[in-house]
Amino acid sequence: MRILTVCTSTNVFGAEVVTLKMLDGFQRAGHEQLAITSIWTDGEFNRRLALLGVREVRLPFGAFSKRIAFRPLWWTLNTVVRLPWL
């Protein structure tokens, strides 16, 4: 089976740990996988995907924030600028 996983978190928290465990199980079962992740991460999720042997494509996802903060605004602006090429 071919499985596509989309994970847009910037850090590894509980949901990402569960996702990695699920991907590990799929990998052991011999499923073909592709993970879509954000370029705006600390890199930990990407390292763990590599250890599992899961292929990854990194895309510039935007972000929503409850408060006005520079980083999410920058991510979203950067994504909008790249939209014609995505």
Predicted confidence at residue 18, as pLDDT, reads 96
Query: What is the Cα–Cα distance from 43 to 14, expressed in whole angstroms?
Result: 16
The CATH number of the structural domain formed by 2-85 is: 3.40.50
Give the closest residue to 54 by CA, choosing from 72, 30, 76.
Answer: 30
Alpha helices, H only, the chain = 14-28, 44-52, 70-82
Q: Which pairs from 71-80 meet CB under 8 Å and 24+ separation?
A: 71/40, 75/40
Per-residue pLDDT at 10 exceeds 70: yes
Q: What is the pLDDT of residues 13-23, one digit of tens each?
A: 999 999 999 99
Predicted confidence at residue 39, as pLDDT, reads 86
Q: What is the pLDDT of residues 33-85, one digit of tens each?
A: 999 998 888 999 999 999 999 999 998 876 655 677 777 777 777 777 777 76
